[in-house]
């Protein structure tokens, strides 16, 4: 099921969704549709879309703060950074039948594509399982901008649901692509904000999946003269970055 909620901040909107739906935060996927920072004369507004019931987006670890050296000095306080990925020393071997079946299915699909690989557990969190893919063909498995990895991840999550674990999200990664992609998106967000501020014209970014768009929205959410909004239909939408001036 899909629902929409609004709040003055992303946290407020997510809390409202959790309260109204009666779900834990890990029980649904969040897609930010619009993000407007507040100012002296204007309240902030964040509009989100909530997906429940198994989720079809490509989930990934929550953002973390990017290195300060990679951000403009005036804005080095709100950029998200990718999580390290669960437990620092997770046992790479499956701990139960569910994990064993997920690893076996992932390996079987990739080998069915014609590529050899080794599959192991990357991390374990509540209702999340990280899976590491090691292969000399990693660049092909990841694909352009991670689209092959996202498609493979979707298949694995469908399989996970058929095992009766719809509440568990399986996150696939290879060559630390997820972390590198998130760091690149943080840099892109700040560079785009600088361009929009300089030219006083909006910029429309490339199509992105819901999680990638969320990184852009969250990174720029606290910048007072910049606002963001998702445009388009389907899973891969574009984020438009606007200049709205200072209050």
The pLDDT confidence band at residue 74, using thresholds 50, 70 and 90, is: very low
Do residues 187 and 167 both lie within one domain?
Answer: no
The residue among 156, 175, 194 that closes a domain is 175
Query: 123, 156, 175 — which closes off a domain?
Result: 175
Q: How many domains is the chain partitioned into structurally?
A: 2
Instruction: Please indicate, yes or no, whether residues 225 and 188 belong to a single structural domain of this protein.
Output: yes
Determine, yes or no, domain membership for 90.
no
Is 185 inside a domain boundary? yes
Q: Are residues 7 and 70 in the same domain?
A: yes
Residue 236 resides in a domain: yes
Q: What is the pLDDT of residues 151-207, one digit of tens each?
A: 999 999 999 999 999 999 999 999 999 889 999 999 999 999 999 999 999 999 999
pLDDT tens-digit series, residues 134-155: 999 999 999 988 889 999 999 9
Answer whether residue 9 is part of any domain.
yes
C-alpha pair distances (Å), 175 with each of 93, 141, 190, 208, 247: 18, 10, 25, 20, 44
Rounded Cα distance, 226 and 78, in Å: 13
State the CATH number of the domain containing residue 167.
3.30.300.20
Reference 179, options 66, 70, 11; nearest CA is 66
Whether 91 is covered by a domain: the verdict is no
Residue 88 domain-assigned (yes or no)? no
Q: What is the CATH number of the domain that holds 222?
A: 3.30.1370.50
Counting residues of the chain whose pLDDT is more than 70, the rounded percentage is: 78
CA distances from 138 to 58, 92, 133, 148 (A): 18, 19, 8, 10
* Domain end point (choices 175, 190, 211): 175
**Of residues 95 and 41, more confidently modeled:** 95
- HSE, CB side, 13 Å, CA atoms: give it for residue 187: 9
Rounded to the nearest angstrom, the gap between the alpha carbon of residue 147 and the centroid of all alpha carbons in its chain is 13
Domain carrying residue 130:
97-175
* pTM summary value: 0.58
Structure confidence at residue 57 as a pLDDT band (50, 70, 90): very low
- 196: DSSP letter: H
113 lies in the same domain as 227: no
Q: Is residue 35 part of a domain?
A: yes
User: Does 106 lie in the same domain as 152?
Assistant: yes
């Amino acid at each position: 099921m899909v629902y929409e909620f609004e709040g003055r901040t992303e946290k407020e909107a997510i809390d409202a969704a959790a309260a109204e739906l009666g779900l834990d935060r890990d029980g649904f996927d969040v897609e930010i549709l619009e993000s407007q920072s507040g100012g002296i004369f204007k309240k902030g507004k964040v509009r989100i879309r909530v997906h429940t019931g198994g989720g079809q987006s490509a989930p990934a670890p929550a953002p973390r703060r990017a290195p300060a050296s990679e951000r403009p000095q005036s804005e080095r306080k709100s950029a998200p950074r990718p999580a390290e990925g669960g437990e620092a020393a997770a046992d790479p071997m499956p701990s139960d039948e569910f994990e064993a079946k997920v690893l076996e299915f992932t390996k079987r699909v990739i080998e069915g594509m014609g590529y050899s690989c080794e599959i192991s557990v990357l991390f374990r969190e509540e209702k999340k399982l990280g899976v590491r893919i090691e292969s000399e063909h990693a660049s092909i498995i990841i694909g352009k901008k991670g689209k092959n990895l996202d498609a493979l991840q979707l298949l694995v999550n469908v399989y996970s649901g058929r095992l009766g674990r719809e509440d568990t999200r399986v996150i696939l990664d290879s060559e630390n692509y997820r972390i590198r992609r998130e760091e690149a998106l943080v840099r892109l967000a700040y560079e785009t904000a600088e361009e929009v501020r300089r030219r006083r014209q909006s910029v429309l970014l490339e199509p992105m999946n819901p999680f990638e768009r969320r990184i852009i929205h969250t990174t720029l959410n606290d910048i007072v003269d910049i606002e963001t909004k998702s445009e388009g239909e389907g899973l891969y939408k574009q984020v438009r970055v606007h200049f709205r001036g200072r209050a």
